[in-house]
Amino acid sequence: MTEKTPSPGGDGTAANGPAGDPAASRPGGAVAADRESIVVPPSILAQQAGWAQPGESPRPAGAAKEEGDDAPQIFASNVRRADVSEAGYDENPPGVGRLGVILGTVLAVLLAGSAVTLYLVNKDGGTKDEPSAAKPDAAKTAPPTPTTEPVPPIKDSAKVLPTITGDFGKKAEIQVPGEKSDGTFVVKVLSEGSGPKVEKNNWTSVDYTAKDWNTGKDIPSSYDNSGKPQIFQAGTDALIPALDQAVVGKKAGSRVLVVAPPAAAFGDKGKADMSIGAKDDLIFVIDIRNTNAPDSVVSGTVTAPPADFPQVKDNGKKPAEITPVAGAKDPTELRTHVLIKGTGPAVEKGEKVVVQYTGALFKDGKVFDSSLSKGQAFSFPVGGGQVIQGWDQGLAGQTVGSRVELVIPAALAYGDKGQGDIPPGSTLVFVVDILDAGQG
């Protein structure tokens, strides 16, 4: 259904970025260049709030349907276009770059304009004011007027609504009425949950079933083909309004019916690669699975770490206190210990996770970075190379709702280069709360 401050860690780090921007925000700072594997396609990310998988370009209208097109889609992506020098200095060999192209174009236009002016002035003794045909036609040169309609106000009813059957947590059955939609943006709670209310900026995960009202065709669902729930920060315009706005104010555990006119979905362009027309109304049945405030932490029964692990003191919504083992030697391999065992699903490689963390030096327990000190959870795709290797390896397979202690050797962290307040060759200790996971 697709998430800016300096890096978590302060000066010299790269991660004080937006909570939803893993490329701008990495625990401890930027990953060393010789080990970094940045996944760049996203969306999402010439990003549009569309349903393309990160790294994929939408299939042109009319193109043949490919195998896998029925797989669940994501509604936005966090892929960012790589920075490019305006003058082309980052090219090898150097090129003119975008700035060169712009300047060249301006110069060509000026030269052409001068030539036309000289011709008109000298043609048959004419003057610059004579030839009205040479003057630009304002009506033809004016920029086109935007045609995107404003999102209509949300209502909880309309003249006619789809019929929905099925239980929360399972794919819904949607029966489309024989009549056309009246264009109302409807958000109606079908069954209310008992969980916390979704507030703006909350990290929220949802499952969904969808259908095109105009054509009656199914739209790929998170329940299809072992799909994953959509995870996003509610009310931040990260997704189409039919999802982004619809969940705000609703409780986790609720099933919500959404009827979205084009302005609340894909606008006046539709979504050709999904056969959604520019004037098609869409129907969504949204199951709100989970919601977490930006400063949330996990809770549960704590299992103390082994004696040869750094000890951890929980400080609630403040950075954890990490006490090193006196005289302990730096490990050569990644070590993990589950402090709190979550009851959610296991995190799979490629999933986007939302976490809180505290990072400290193994040798003295000095905290160099924590999302808790900022009150902003951090998100990234596990196994995507956007964080240090110790995180990618240590969090895969852990369950949502868990608190995990990671002891990461320098080779799986920042190596012999260090980073900011992290000296070269440092073993690191992280305490990580896994708040949620899904596609995003």
Task: Check whether residue 160 and residue 187 sit in a common domain.
Answer: yes
Count the alpha carbons within 13 Å of 225 in the hemisphere toward its beta carbon: 10
In-domain check, residue 359: yes
The most distant pair of C-alpha atoms in the chain lies apart, rounded to whole Å, by 99
Rounded Cα distance between 47 and 54, Å, is: 9
> pLDDT (tens digit, 0 to 9) for every residue of the chain, 440 residues total?
433 333 323 333 333 343 333 334 567 665 554 444 334 344 433 443 344 443 444 444 444 444 444 445 545 433 333 443 333 334 344 444 454 444 455 445 455 555 444 444 444 444 433 333 333 333 333 334 444 679 999 999 999 999 999 999 999 999 999 999 999 999 999 999 999 999 999 999 999 999 999 999 999 999 998 789 999 999 999 899 999 999 999 999 999 999 999 999 999 889 998 899 999 999 999 999 999 999 999 999 999 999 999 999 999 999 999 999 999 999 999 999 999 999 999 999 999 999 999 999 999 999 999 999 999 999 999 999 999 999 999 999 999 999 999 999 999 999 999 999 999 999 999 999 999 999 98
Classified as helix, coil or strand, 297 is coil
Task: Check whether residue 329 and residue 422 sit in a common domain.
Answer: yes
Rounded Cα distance between 5 and 203, Å, is: 19
Looking at residue 28, what is its pLDDT? 64
In-domain check, residue 364: yes
Looking at residue 60, what is its pLDDT? 45
**CB 147: neighbour CB atoms within 10 A?**
9
DSSP letter, residue 117: H
- From 141, 169, 197, give the residue that closes a domain: 141
Task: Check whether residue 162 and residue 285 sit in a common domain.
Answer: yes
In-domain check, residue 23: no
Task: Check whether residue 177 and residue 128 sit in a common domain.
Answer: no
- Cα three-residue angle 421-426-431, rounded to 5 degrees: 80
In-domain check, residue 67: no
Task: Check whether residue 211 and residue 164 sit in a common domain.
Answer: yes
Rounded Cα distance between 425 and 328, Å, is: 15
In-domain check, residue 73: no
Task: Check whether residue 274 and residue 334 sit in a common domain.
Answer: no
Task: Check whether residue 316 and residue 367 sit in a common domain.
Answer: yes
- β-strand partners of 287: 207, 255
Rounded Cα distance between 157 and 165, Å, is: 17
In-domain check, residue 7: no
Q: What is the CA radius of gyration of the chain?
A: 27
Give which of 318, 306, 319 is closest to 369, Cα–Cα: 319
- From 265, 292, 319, give the residue that closes a domain: 292
In-domain check, residue 109: yes
Task: Provide the domain limits for residue 241.
Answer: 154-292
Looking at residue 20, what is its pLDDT? 39
Task: Check whether residue 258 and residue 339 sit in a common domain.
Answer: no
Domain at 182, CATH number: 3.10.50.40
Task: Check whether residue 231 and residue 324 sit in a common domain.
Answer: no
In-domain check, residue 8: no
- From 112, 141, 170, give the residue that closes a domain: 141
Looking at residue 440, what is its pLDDT? 84
Looking at residue 188, what is its pLDDT? 98
**Number of domains the chain contains:** 3
Rounded Cα distance between 352 and 233, Å, is: 12
- Cα three-residue angle 325-328-333, rounded to 5 degrees: 110
Task: Check whether residue 336 and residue 411 sit in a common domain.
Answer: yes
Task: Check whether residue 263 and residue 343 sit in a common domain.
Answer: no
Burial of 87 (0-12, 13-18, 19+ CB in 10 A): middle
Task: Check whether residue 434 and residue 344 sit in a common domain.
Answer: yes
Residue 358: partners with Cβ closer than 8 Å, 6 or more residues away = 319, 320, 322, 367, 369, 370, 371, 372, 430, 431
